[in-house]
């Protein structure tokens, strides 16, 4: 096992890659009671089409990765993994996103048994016509639950308006019409394509013995054969957005706005980790809690709520900003103004660095948070960033300015969500 000292932190991470390509990351804590196990595949709803082992192009129904995650919990014995984990008061769960599917177990007892069980249930799918059919009602209700949330509708509409072909324009769960077409053969096809050791990893944090964990992992996983990952078929995504502006009407009280910016990757020459740091730095300084922008819109009383994030897809870094505002037009023009008058002061820059470093340290306090932090690293960079604190310390305004000069922020889409009754009124007026 390789020992990795995480910079600026006291914890040591252990890493090993098995012969079949499966990666293992272990971060044991002393004096904690809970352990957190994540067994994951780097397969999510980003895969729309691929070439099967029979050399055929194959496009499963949308939402297949998420459906597959739900169905992994079927066992021939009829006893599901939730029940197995609950014997020891442990908690099993799973989640699917664009670029991964993860299966987790956390608890304070029965570490060995639960680890072994988690690996084995994910390694052994059991799909029947009946059990596949049964899930349709459950997932349809899951989809409907999200569809009823205005924030979710806003985000999905913005994604549709940003992307022509990218899988990021679809909901991870797919649509009710699409999931109704799913058959067990589809699930097996995707499972055998992407649930292979060289596309998977195991991550454990918290209270456990690393030697014991390694022993179980080797016993259960070393025999698994690696095989080539299927060729994923991707469509080219145009630089331009699909729609630059749109207004939609919903049953809401306070209007909402969304801004999406597709930034072509080739305009930034930095390493991936640093690119992410600098892009985040830029938008934190522009729109973060202590930005001048926030003070201005607060004093003008045109901001109720704001949320932003960066997302990386195949060819673009995409920035998303969502806000709630009683004056959506004014807020959008304020955002527009910030984006066209970027200025970075070294004071603000250094303050954000200080905050980030403190946040990194705080994160390690709670194994559950450390787990999700490491998970993001493995998915984004294929490794754990061991010197992030050093990288943050090294960041400087000059580099930031160089990046800003080359940054193409011109491919934007904005969306307004207004109260339904305002539409009625408008119709009446006209």
Per rule CB under 8 A, is residue 430 in the interface with other proteins?
A: no
Of 53, 87, 222, 309, the residue at the interface with other proteins (CB under 8 A) is 87
- Note whether 41 and 100 are within 8 A (CB): yes
**Shortest CB 222 distance to other proteins, Å:** 31
- Judged by CB under 8 A, does residue 136 bind other proteins? yes
Per CB under 8 A, 139 contacts other proteins: yes
Residues 93-132 that bind other proteins (CB under 8 A): 107-109
Choose between 109 and 265: whose C-beta lies nearer to other proteins: 109
Whether residue 269 lies in the annotated active site: no
CB of 206 to other proteins, least distance (A): 9
For residue 293, give the nearest of 350, 345, 248, 335 by alpha carbon: 335
Q: Does 343 bind other proteins (CB under 8 A)?
A: no
Least gap, CB of 61 to other proteins (angstroms)? 12
Cβ 165 vs Cβ 314: under 8 Å: no
Which of 18/281 has CB closer to other proteins?
A: 281
- Closest CB to other proteins among 244 and 305? 305
Residues with Cβ < 8 Å from 188, sequence gap 6 or more?
125, 127
Residue 367 binds to other proteins (criterion: CB under 8 A): yes
Q: How far apart are CA 319 and CA 237, in angstroms?
A: 16
- Binding residue for other proteins, selected from 176, 214, 308, 409, defined by CB under 8 A: 176
171 makes contact with other proteins (CB under 8 A) = no
Using a 10 angstrom Cβ sphere, with 0-12 exposed, 13-18 middle and 19 or more buried, the burial of residue 429 is exposed
User: Both tokens of residue 58?
Assistant: 């194959």
* Residue 242 interacting with other proteins (CB under 8 A): no
In the complex, the smallest distance separating the C-beta of residue 59 from other proteins, rounded to whole angstroms, is: 18
Distance between CA atoms of residues 417 and 156, nearest Å: 12
Nearer to other proteins, 337 or 381 (CB): 337
Of the two residues 141 and 269, which places its CB atom closer to other proteins in the complex?
Answer: 141
CB of 226 to other proteins, least distance (A): 33
Cβ nearer to other proteins, comparing 152 with 188: 152
Q: Are 374 and 363 in contact (CB under 8 A)?
A: no
Alpha-carbon span 7 to 4, nearest angstrom:
9
Active-site residue, selected from the candidate residues 23, 69, 178, 237: 69
Minimum gap (Å) between residue 219 Cβ and other proteins: 26
Single residue of 346, 361, 382, 426 touching other proteins by CB under 8 A: 361
Nearest to 151 by CA among 313, 305, 329, 328: 305
List the interface residues with other proteins, window 245-284 (CB under 8 A). 251-254
Task: Kindly tell me which residue out of 41, 90, 189, 413 binds other proteins, with binding defined by CB under 8 A.
Answer: 90
Q: Which DSSP string corresponds to 305-363?
A: EEEEEEEE-SSEEEEEEEEE-S-HHHHHHHHHHHHHS----HHHHHHHHHHHHHHHHHH
Cα separation of 395 and 402, whole Å? 12
- Tell me if residue 375 falls in helix, strand or coil: helix
Q: Is 31 in the site for other proteins (CB under 8 A)?
A: yes
Q: Does residue 238 contact residue 164 with C-beta atoms inside 8 Å?
A: yes
Mapped onto helix, strand or coil, the DSSP state of residue 39 is strand
- Of the candidate residues 272, 294, 393, 402, the single one contacting other proteins (CB under 8 A): 294
Are 100 and 379 in contact by the 8 Å Cβ rule? The answer is yes
> For other proteins, which residue of 17, 124, 128, 326 counts as binding (CB under 8 A)?
326
- Quote the DSSP letter at residue 209: -
Report strand pairing: 245-250 vs 412-419: parallel
Q: Is 424 in the site for other proteins (CB under 8 A)?
A: no
Instruction: Return d(Cα 200, Cα 220) in angstroms, integer.
Output: 14
Binding site for other proteins (CB under 8 A): 31-34, 80, 82-83, 86-92, 107-109, 134-145, 147-151, 175-177, 251-254, 289-290, 292, 294-295, 298-299, 301, 304-305, 324, 326, 351, 354-355, 358-359, 361-362, 364-368, 420
Active site residues: 69
């Amino acid at each position: 096992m390789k020992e990795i000292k995480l910079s600026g932190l006291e914890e040591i991470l252990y890493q090993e890659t098995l012969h079949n390509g499966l990666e293992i990351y272990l971060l044991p804590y002393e004096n904690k009671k809970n352990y957190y196990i994540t067994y994951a595949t780097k397969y999510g709803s980003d895969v729309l089409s691929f070439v099967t082992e029979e050399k055929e192009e194959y496009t499963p129904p949308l939402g297949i990765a998420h459906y597959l995650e739900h169905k992994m919990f079927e066992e021939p014995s009829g006893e599901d993994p939730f029940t197995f984990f609950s014997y020891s008061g442990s908690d099993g769960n799973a989640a699917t996103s664009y670029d991964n599917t993860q299966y987790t177990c956390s608890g304070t007892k029965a570490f060995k048994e639960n680890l072994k069980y988690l690996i084995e249930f994910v390694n052994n799918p059991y799909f029947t016509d009946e059990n596949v059919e049964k899930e349709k009602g459950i997932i349809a209700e899951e989809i409907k639950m999200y569809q009823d949330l205005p924030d979710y509708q806003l985000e999905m509409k913005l994604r549709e308006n940003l992307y022509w072909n990218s899988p990021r324009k679809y909901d991870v769960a797919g649509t009710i019409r699409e999931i109704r077409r799913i058959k067990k053969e589809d699930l097996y096809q995707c499972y055998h394509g992407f649930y292979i050791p060289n596309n998977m990893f195991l991550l454990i944090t918290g209270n456990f013995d690393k030697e014991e964990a390694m022993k179980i992992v080797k016993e259960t996983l070393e025999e698994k054969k690696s095989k080539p990952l299927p060729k994923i078929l991707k469509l080219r995504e145009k630089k331009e957005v699909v729609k630059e502006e749109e207004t939609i009407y919903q049953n809401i009280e306070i209007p909402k706005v969304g801004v999406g910016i597709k930034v072509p990757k080739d305009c930034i020459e930095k390493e991936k980790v640093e690119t992410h740091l600098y892009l985040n730095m830029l938008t934190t300084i522009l729109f973060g809690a202590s930005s001048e922008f926030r003070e201005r819109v607060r004093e003008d009383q045109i901001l109720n709520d704001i949320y932003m994030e960066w997302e990386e897809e195949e060819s673009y870094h995409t920035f998303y900003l969502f806000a709630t505002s009683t004056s959506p037009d004014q807020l959008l023009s304020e955002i527009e103004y910030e984006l066209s008058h970027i200025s970075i002061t070294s004071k603000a820059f250094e303050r954000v660095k200080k905050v980030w470093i403190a946040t990194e340290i705080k994160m390690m306090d709670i194994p559950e948070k450390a787990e999700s932090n490491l998970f993001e690293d493995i998915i984004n960079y294929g490794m754990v960033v061991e010197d992030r604190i050093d990288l943050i310390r090294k960041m400087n305004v000059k580099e930031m300015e160089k990046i800003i000069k080359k940054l193409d922020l011109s491919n934007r889409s904005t969306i307004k969500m207004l109260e339904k009754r305002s539409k009625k009124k408008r119709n009446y007026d006209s």
